[in-house]
Every structure is written in C-alpha cells, then in structure tokens.
Amino acid sequence: METLSLIYFSPTGTTQKIVREIGQKTGLKLISENNITHNQDEFKPAVSGDCLTIIGIPVYGGRVPIEAIEALKKLQSNQSPVVIVVVYGNREYDDALLELKEVAINCGFRIIAGAAFIGEHSFSSKDKPIAKNRPDKQDLIKCRDFAELINKKLNEIRDANTPAELNVPGKYPYKERKQLPATVHPITDNNLCNQCGTCVDICPVNAITIEGTEITNGELCTWCCACVKHCPNEARIFDNPTINAVKKKLFLNCSIRKEPVYFV
Ligand SMILES: Cc1cc2nc3c(=O)[nH]c(=O)nc-3n(C[C@H](O)[C@H](O)[C@H](O)COP(=O)(O)O)c2cc1C
C-alpha cells in the first residue's frame, strides 16, 4: 500500500484539517483529494485497489450529513482499504461512525480503522465558545498517533489478508434526523455586507443568492454555518431565539473537553 486518497465533506474546515493531517502522517503518497462539500453532482470518484482511502465527515445531529451520503454513495470499491473518520463538536457522535461504516461497506470498501475527532462546533460563537479552535496542537498529535496505528494495521492485513470486522460505537435504529425549521437560518447584516459573494460560493446547498441583497432559502439551509465562519466582514449572523437556545445548551453541557478515540 503506497498511495492515498482523501475524501471529505467539511463546510467549516475542521474535518478537512483532521483528514489531511492523518493522511499526511501516514507518509503515503497522496494521489487524489476530493472535497465533496460542494457540487456533489460533479463528484466522479475513482478508487483503485492498491490505494488507502480516508473518508471524513462532520457529525450532524449524531448522524452523517445527508449531502455527504449522497456523494459517498457513488463510490465503488473492490474491497480496497478505507479509514473512516467522524468529527464532532464536543457534544457526541452518537451513531455517525456506525452509519459511515455502513455507507463505506455498501460501497465495497474494507474498513480497517475508524476514529472520532473533535472540531470547533459550527455553532460556536464569541460569547458562547464550544470546542473553540479545535482541532488544536494536541488533536494534531493524536492524528499522528492514529496514522501510526493505521500503518501498523496495513502491515498486518498485508500478512493476514482479511482483517476482522471493525466494531465501532453506535446503535440501530440510528438517531432520528430532526426537521430544521425553515424560518431559522443565518441572515445578513446589510450594514456590514459588501456583496463579495463569498457566502454564495461557500454554501454547500446553494441556499444563498444575491438579488439586490442576500437572500437565504430557509428550506435549503442545513445550518452548517459555512457562510457565518467564512464571511470576511462578519456580516452573516446566526442569532435568533431558536439557535440561541441550542447554543446556550451546548455551551452549558458540552464545555468539558473530550478527546479523540480510535478503533483499529
Ligand atoms: C446541523 C449541525 C448539527 C450538528 N450536530 C452535532 C452533534 O450531534 N454532535 C456534535 O458534537 N456536534 C455537532 N455539530 C458540530 C459539528 O459536528 C462540528 O462543528 C464539526 O467540527 C464541523 O465540521 P466541519 O468544520 O468540517 O464543517 C453539528 C453541526 C451542525 C452544523
């Protein structure tokens, strides 16, 4: 096994950072990197048998984001090895790793390792920070440790050929997906917005358009907060009673630092 392929969905960039770091620390030669956050329709995957794939997704409501599943379903592998990684905002990852495992198995992959890492929560704000600035230095060291375990496992399967099935936490039926109220979504402060279009480009579901002013389609918005975190003028605001109640609850209940876990 000498080559590496990365596939990730990452609206606010923490999953991307973690998957890249793990991949780099394996020392394998990177031959493809697929960011499936945008334009999932255009994702044309090619998986070769002697390549290690690392798939990373953020946890949304204890599950794999639907948009990520739709893109990942296109992958077809002939038992090539895969590492599955979920990144969550210091609450819980619930059934996400188990669900990602199922998605990967259905694509024909052989799961050799899995992990749950922590990234700054998409809803984290200045006044209610949640897992602020994670992944941090300590997390990146854990990426290196995990990569070492992956390399060890790759050597083992080279000798044994068929690895035992990997068990990961999670249960069936998966946690129910909650319907997000369409009236709740980030809005634009027109005093700060200069219509640069960053939010339009960055939105994974094309929920934002500029028609004189920015308009957000609440039916499409997934609350991923890419627009809030990437706006160069801090003009995208996610501030209303519903989301503020969620932020407050997360801030109060999820402030004790959690650490990454691996399953190899
Ligand atoms: C709609 C939504 C639901 C989320 N649900 C969870 C969750 O169930 N548990 C958790 O710990 N974090 C949750 N998060 C936080 C993200 O998993 C976390 O911030 C992750 O690092 C974001 O990844 P990204 O930077 O690659 O977009 C959620 C975030 C969003 C936007």
Q: What is the pLDDT of residues 192-245, one digit of tens each?
A: 999 999 999 999 999 999 988 889 999 999 999 999 999 999 999 999 999 999
* Ligand 1: centre distance to CA 11 (Å): 10
Q: What is the CATH number of domain 187-239?
A: 3.30.70.20
Residue 261, pLDDT above cutoff 70: yes
Ligand 1 centre to CA of 12 (Å) is: 9
Q: Is the CATH number 3.30.450.20 carried by domain 3-173+257-263?
A: no
Q: Ligand 1 mean position to 118 CA, how many Å?
A: 9
* Nearest one of 88, 85, 175, 177 to 124, comparing CA atoms: 88
Q: pTM, whole model, 2 decimals?
A: 0.97
| Residue whose pair of structure tokens reads 């990520």 in the numeric block | 68
Rounded to the nearest integer, the mean pLDDT of the chain is 95
The separation between CA 166 and the C-alpha centre of its own chain, rounded to angstroms, equals 20
Residue the block writes with tokens 């390399």: 151
> For 13-45, what is each residue's pLDDT tens digit?
999 999 999 999 999 999 999 999 998 888 888
Smallest CA separation from ligand 1 atom 2, residue? 60
Which residue has a Cα nearest atom 8 of ligand 1? 61
* 60, two tokens: 């949304």
- Asked whether residue 165 carries a pLDDT value surpassing 90, the answer given is no
Lining ligand 1 with CB less than 6 A are 10-15, 58-62, 87-92, 119-122, 222-225
Strand segments (E) across the chain: 3-8, 29-35, 51-58, 81-88, 110-118, 187-188, 208-211, 213-216, 236-237, 261-263
Task: Using alpha carbons, select from 89, 65, 99 the residue that is nearest to residue 205.
Answer: 65
Mean pLDDT, rounded, for 101-110: 96
Q: If you measure from the C-alpha of residue 199 to the centroid of ligand 1, how many angstroms do you get, rounded to a whole number?
A: 19
β-pair type (110-118, 261-263): antiparallel
Q: Is residue 193 within 8 Å of residue 245, measured between CB atoms?
A: no
Enumerate the CATH 3.40.50.360 domain ranges in the chain, comma separated: 3-173+257-263
CATH 3.30.70.20 positions along the chain are 187-239
Q: What is the pLDDT of residues 78-92, one digit of tens each?
A: 999 999 999 999 999
Per-residue pLDDT, 161: 66
